[in-house]
Amino acid sequence: MDRRAFLTAVAAGWMVDTILPSKAPIAGRIIGASHGVGHLVRDGGAPEPSGPAERADVVVIGAGVAGLSAAWRLAPAGLDVRVLELESFVGGTSTWGDDGAAPHPWGAHYLAAPNPEARAALRLLEEMGVVQGWDAAGRPRFDPRVLCHAPQERLFYRGAWHPGLTPQDELDGRDREEMERFARFEDELTERVGEDGRHLFQIPLAFSSRDPDTLALDRISMRAWLDREGYTSPFLRWYVRYACLDDFGAEPEEVSAWAALHYFAGRKLKTPELDGSHFLVWPEGNGRLVKALSARANAAVSLGALVTGLRTIEGGRVEVRWLDVRDRAARRIHARAVVVAAPAFVTARLFPSSAARLPVRASSPWIVANMHVERPIDPDMAWDSVLYDAAGLGYVDARHQLTELSSRTVLTYYRAYGGPDVVGARKNLVTLPWEEIANDVLCDLAPAHPELREQISRLDVCVWGHAMPRPRPGFLGEKPFEPLVLLDERVAWAHADQPGMALFEESQASGVRAAEAIAPALGIELGSTWL
């Protein structure tokens, strides 16, 4: 190139950079959860209510899956049910967003096909039309449009995408052998029955075997179990770590071996239609289930309602004190019964007389980031994309179940902070600015998507300080599968902290159980149990 041509090229480049607009910077924000307001209960300082009390038959504290399930169970009785929720949304960690190319989850994003024993979950799915009938063996038949479409999962490993989470052709001999050994053990464990005639691992947990040798697994960590069984493959270790972070938000050394093996062996339902997919999936994830519960609960929901305490009072009533966070007005409700659908540590502060009986749970902090994609990032997109040895758990595609074509979508990224210092991780997360979290997300995905910054217009983040209970060794307690429900004749407890594992079926069952437990105090008949 001669001097004239060189100067012409430089000038042309300068003109393009000057005249054509550069890509706008990525927008974004941090949404929920309301950590600062919620800490008023911990730190004190909430004003005392004045004026006359409102009245209700039942107050449900918390509009997550457990709380809404309690209201859903009470709906046939035609009671006046009030639900008080701190956040500006319902659903807890199963909430969702509608602002984008498709509805998208802000937390839980699928429901594995429930076991026949999960009667409450199947009842709801049948009401929704997702369960379309039952086969001769009494097993549910699901609407095929809800079962996850192919391709379901893929793994970014050694610089390329591979279908599924096990790239067999890329694994060395030891990795392959140990993965095959673990898969055989997983299949055998799924079918194994204890001396009491129960499966060793079941969902709901209450149907699991009380076999002492199996329960002894709760006394060691999953990492210790892997060491004991001689699993040394780096890939197998990564695979198990991914599972522990995915379901419990914790590293294998922080997870009970019983809980981790339950993850692999608790799902029992097998039918021909489930051979291709075992996941029930909607664009908004489990937000679809929350919508169904809300629509059927027949309850008045107050958002931005911080409950500051409750106590039993004369006349067979329970006083619930709460703060409207919008106008900081303190109010109270006198109810005939209360369901506290809140974590154990919150419940202990609201109803101190119950503190000694409630289980001690550690809760895992998470971030969930929704990335609004304007141009396709990959023609072979799967529903769930995982990066080997990344800091996060990958992302899901909100448009995967939708049939209409579009270049725009929302990708939901997950990261759990699984180390032992949950308090330190939580304190750090809630102080981080959006820019730092967004940059961490994009850097984590950069090996697979180096151009991602240029393909998204917005990246919103939710910090879940107390996302889910962490089933540490010993989480089953001295009386496994005997949940604490009634805190008082008129006060029941419902939450994932009750069983210690954050599964939809468990949270829902805890809410149904709590509603049925307070029925005698209300003087009503709810009929046969839904559990």
Q: What is the mean pLDDT of residues 220-242?
A: 98
Share of the chain above pLDDT 70, in %: 93
Task: Output the pLDDT for position 18.
Answer: 37
CA–CA gap between residue 515 and residue 60 (Å, rounded): 10
Looking at domain 35-95+284-360+480-522, its CATH superfamily turns out to be FAD/NAD(P)-binding domain (3.50.50.60)
In tens, the pLDDT along 118-148 reads: 999 999 999 999 999 999 999 999 999 999 9
Dump pLDDT digits (tens) for 438-494.
999 999 999 999 999 999 999 999 999 999 999 999 999 999 999 999 999 999 999
Q: Is the pLDDT of residue 7 over 70?
A: no
pLDDT band for position 229 (50/70/90)? very high
DSSP-derived letter for residue 199 is: B
Question: Quick one: three-class SS letters along 367-423?
Answer: EEEEEEECCCCCCCCCCEEEECCCCCCCEEECCCCCCCCCCCEEEEEEEECCCCCHH
Confidence of residue 33 (pLDDT cuts 50, 70, 90): low
Per residue in 279-323, pLDDT (tens digit) is 999 999 999 999 999 999 999 999 999 999 999 999 999 999 999
Q: Give dist(CA 341, CA 237) in Å, integer.
A: 36
What per-residue confidence (pLDDT) applies to 379? Answer: 81
- Confidence band (pLDDT; 50, 70, 90) for 427? very high
pLDDT given at position 11: 38
What DSSP state is assigned to residue 37? H
Q: Are 280 and 273 in contact (CB under 8 A)?
A: no
User: Which range, 12-26, 40-54, 364-378, is most confident?
Assistant: 364-378
375 pLDDT band (50/70/90 cuts)? confident
pLDDT at 383 over 50: yes
Is residue 4 very low, low, confident or very high in pLDDT (cuts 50, 70, 90)? very low
**Whole-structure pTM value:** 0.92
User: Distances in Å between the alpha carbon of 99 and those of 22, 31, 102, 415?
Assistant: 25, 13, 7, 22
CB half-sphere exposure, 10, CA atoms < 13 A: 7
Sequence spans of domains, the chain: 35-95+284-360+480-522
Torsion sign over Cα 278, 279, 280, 282: negative
**Contact predicate 310/338, CB 8 Å:** yes
pLDDT value at position 380?
84
Q: Which band of pLDDT confidence, cut at 50, 70 and 90, is reported for residue 14?
A: very low
Least Cα distance to 339 among 357, 366, 318, 316 occurs for 318
Question: Would you state the pLDDT for residue 49?
Answer: 83
Indicate if the pLDDT at residue 13 is higher than 60.
no
Specify the amino acid at residue 432: L
The per-residue pLDDT of the chain, averaged, comes to 92
Q: What is the pLDDT of residue 39?
A: 61
